[in-house]
Structure 1
Amino acid sequence: MSWNEPGGDKKDPWSGRNDQNSPPDLDEVVRNLQEKLGALFGGGSNGGGNRTSGSSMRGAGWVAGGALVLWSLSGFYTVDEGTRGVVTRFGAYVGTSQPGLNWHVPAPIEQVQVINVEQQRFIEVGYRSGGGQAMGSVPKEAMMLTKDENIVDVRLAVQYQVKDAKDYAFNVLDPASTLKQVTESVQRGVIGRSDMDFVLTEGRSEIVQEIKSEIQSVMDAYRTGILITSVNLQDAQPPEQVQGAFEDAIKAREDKQRLINEAEAYANDVVPKARGAASRIVQESEGYKEKVIAKANGDVSRFSQLLTEYKKAPGVTKQRMYIETMEQVLGRASNVLVDVKDGGNVMYLPLDKLGVGRTEAAPDSVTNHEPVAPQPTLPTVKESKTDVRINSRERDVRGRYDGK
């Protein structure tokens, strides 16, 4: 009799809610569940053997269905921000999943490789570091030959990140190792085209940019999916065996540059002064030139006016010119002229005092108002030869203006 038929024991095989005092029969619960699953999958309920066989098939179907559901649910996965999921189907690329909740056909049909595309990775060439401190050079990687056949120790650090998850996962077996080999090759090529002084001094930034450009070009040609973010030249120095001599050479070069700077500073101080002095001299020369030209023009104008007056009254003009000339000539002279007639008495005068007084009385006859040294005085005139000198000088002056 069924549990829910009239007159039954009213035992609920599922929850026992009609009989709170006695537990349900476990065998009956399993049997009822098998019957329901068999009915769901089309199994029969008549006959003892058929009922047992159908129950087994229905149980297997339920198990398979549950396993299928669980297998399907295992295909859900989450891609974090800054990462990409590379989906492959039996090893072949299917697609790239973006950050968020995604689903793929569960394994072993499809698999997902999550790649961080924002992580900053780096490699070291020529040295190894540990704990933030350099552990020294790796000579096999660091020693390089320059264009001028010198050996230089170069240490380089390259930072990179993934720009294409598909290329990064499929095209190169070991991207970091490939990048390191490419970096070392490119670095040796760039250093080999440069002189040692250029590498160690002013050429560092240029060399870094050239190395970065060439590395990116090679990695793009290989389709590695790597983006070079920065190249840092950690150190570049000569080998340890010749480092002392090289430091002496650097000091000598620095002293040379210092002396050059001092010489340039001195030149910048002296040259403007010399140019200013030259400009002043030129301006003074221009002023003197203008002065001479103006004076010459004045003399020409005065002579022209004098010539006009001479043509109007030659005698008067000649007499005037004579008197003015004698005034100018005798005004600058320190000699004392005494007119002594024949048979007259000889005059005794303090000629030295008369000469000094005359010299001081005619300051306008001195050029540029400079003091004039006192002239020696003549001895006292004792004979009438003075008249001869006076008459001779007067005849010379008259003859000059008369044209004789």
Structure 2
Amino acid sequence: MAWHEPNNGSNGRNNDPWGTKNRGGRSQGPPDLDEVFNKLTKKFSGRFSSKKGSKGSSSGGKNIWSFSIIIVISIIIWFFSGFYTIGEAERGVVLRLGKYNRIVGPGLNWRPRFIDEYKAVNVQSIRSLRASGLMLTKDENVVTVGMDIQYRVSEPYKYLYQVTNADDSLRQATDSALRAVIGDSLMDNILTSGRQQIRQNTQRTLNQIVDNYDMGLIIVDVNFQSARPPEQVKDAFDDAIAAREDEERFEREAEAYRNDILPKATGRAERLKKEALGYSERVTNEALGQVAQFEKLLPEYILAPKITRNRLYLDTMEEVYSNTFKVLIDSESTGNLLYLPIDKLLREESSKIENRQKNKSSSAYDEIELESQERNELPSSQSGSTNSRHGRY
């Protein structure tokens, strides 16, 4: 490869950037690196020298001094650029030459720049992701399910470097766990009473996956957002759910009615049983008493049958007449029935007794008034004896 002579231009100056030229005016190629470095040092150090020596007359000691100043300034800038701050809710993962070194806490920290690198991770905030989609159930139905996962970072290093993308890995694990749980459940349970069980199974399965992959995450909570059938069959499922709810409501009403009627019927049955037992005991005791009575009368009847019959007849009639106020007497001579209104006779007798008592009380009251009038008419000399006698009365 040939080297061409640079174009000097019309002013005749040498435009060679390397400043090298042979005796014949031809270029000899690029200069040595040491020569280039010396020229750059001279140009840079000339700015810090005095005006008298600015045209290439600087000494070697001044060049070393200027170079030292540059190095010191660079070191100061490098040192202060190594300070960094970690937030209160964050933890810093420090890498030294690309390899994990340590975890730093909140506050002001320092690292050797270009040697250590750090990444701050929030370990206190609660993060959320949602998994949803059409899923196949155990009874070969299709259902749309939505699940919300809440989690936080527990180990920053594992969160950053254990897996390629922890958030995306958790999303895939959630979708896998949810599909596994839904595929092992019946559609009726998913839509109605089994939602809590599905949530617990999903959280347990997801925790196992996260522990196996060692993502550095903690599952805080799993919320079952929604579960609905496809739109094409949604009306039919709504009717089925309404019918199931009506069935449960009717069952609860029947149970309430049973709980209300059964104790009453049981109490009524117990009362009837006790009344029947009491009646049975009473009738039995009465029969036994009558038997005992007849057993006592039997010897007397054997000794005097006529007297015993008359006595029984009189006792019976006494018991009968004591409970009635109407008496009919059969007259054997005339053949007529004589009616005795005993109730009227008793009422008239009782009214006469009451009138007699009223008359007696009114006469006593009149006598007391007459005595009081006589006492007022007596002179004052006799009033004392009258008053004392009335007081004794």
TM-score by length of 1: 0.63
2:94 counterpart of 1:87: yes
2:153 counterpart of 1:119: no
Structure 2 residue ranges without an equivalent (≥5): 1-44, 51-55, 321-326, 344-393
Q: Aligned letter for 2:282?
A: K
Q: Could you tell me which of 311, 318, 323 is aligned with 2:310?
A: 323
Q: What secondary structure does 1:70 align onto?
A: helix
Q: Deviations over 1:288-334 (max 9, x none)?
A: 13323432443355356546xx38x9524x444322444578898x9
**Aligned residue for 2:141?**
150
> How is 1:1-400 mapped onto 2 (pairs within 5 angstroms)?
52-107=59-114, 109-126=115-132, 142-303=133-294, 305-306=296-297, 310=299, 315-316=303-304, 318-327=305-314, 348-350=334-336, 353=337
**Aligned residue for 2:358?**
none
CA separation of 1:52 and 1:304: change in aligned 2, threshold 3 A: farther
Instruction: Give 1:96 deviation, angstroms.
Output: 0.5
Q: In 1, Cα distance between the equivalents of 2:207 and 2:100? A: 25
Instruction: Give 1:238 deviation, angstroms.
Output: 0.7
Q: Aligned letter for 1:187?
A: L
> In percent, how many aligned pairs have the same letter?
36
Q: Deviations over 1:62-91 (max 9, x none)?
A: 211221222122222111100000001121
Q: What secondary structure does 1:178 align onto?
A: helix
Q: In 2, Cα distance between the equivalents of 1:299 and 1:259? A: 58
**Aligned residue for 2:324?**
none
Q: Which moved more, 1:86-95 or 1:267-276?
A: 267-276
Aligned CA-pair RMSD: 3.5
Q: In 1, Cα distance between the equivalents of 2:144 and 2:311? A: 97
Q: In 2, Cα distance between the equivalents of 1:207 and 1:82? A: 33
TM-score by length of 2: 0.65
Instruction: Give 1:338 deviation, angstroms.
Output: 8.3
Q: In 2, Cα distance between the equivalents of 1:197 and 1:336? A: 90
Q: In 2, Cα distance between the equivalents of 1:325 and 1:305? A: 13
**Aligned residue for 2:31?**
none
Q: Which moved more, 1:240-249 or 1:56-65?
A: 56-65
Q: Aligned letter for 2:122?
A: N
Q: In 2, Cα distance between the equivalents of 1:255 and 1:203? A: 18
Q: What secondary structure does 1:251 align onto?
A: helix
Q: Aligned letter for 1:60?
A: F
Aligned length: 289
Instruction: Give 1:176 deviation, angstroms.
Output: 1.5
CA separation of 1:170 and 1:327: change in aligned 2, threshold 3 A: same
**Aligned residue for 1:129?**
none
Q: In 2, Cα distance between the equivalents of 1:72 and 1:286? A: 108
Instruction: Give 1:348 deviation, angstroms.
Output: 5.0
Instruction: Give 1:281 deviation, angstroms.
Output: 0.5
**Aligned residue for 1:38?**
none
CA contact (8 A) 2:131 2:147 kept: yes
Instruction: Give 1:193 deviation, angstroms.
Output: 1.3
**Aligned residue for 1:375?**
none
Instruction: Give 1:178 deviation, angstroms.
Output: 0.7
Instruction: Give 1:218 deviation, angstroms.
Output: 0.8
Instruction: Give 1:31 deviation, angstroms.
Output: 5.4
CA contact (8 A) 2:328 2:340 kept: no
Q: Aligned letter for 1:116?
A: N
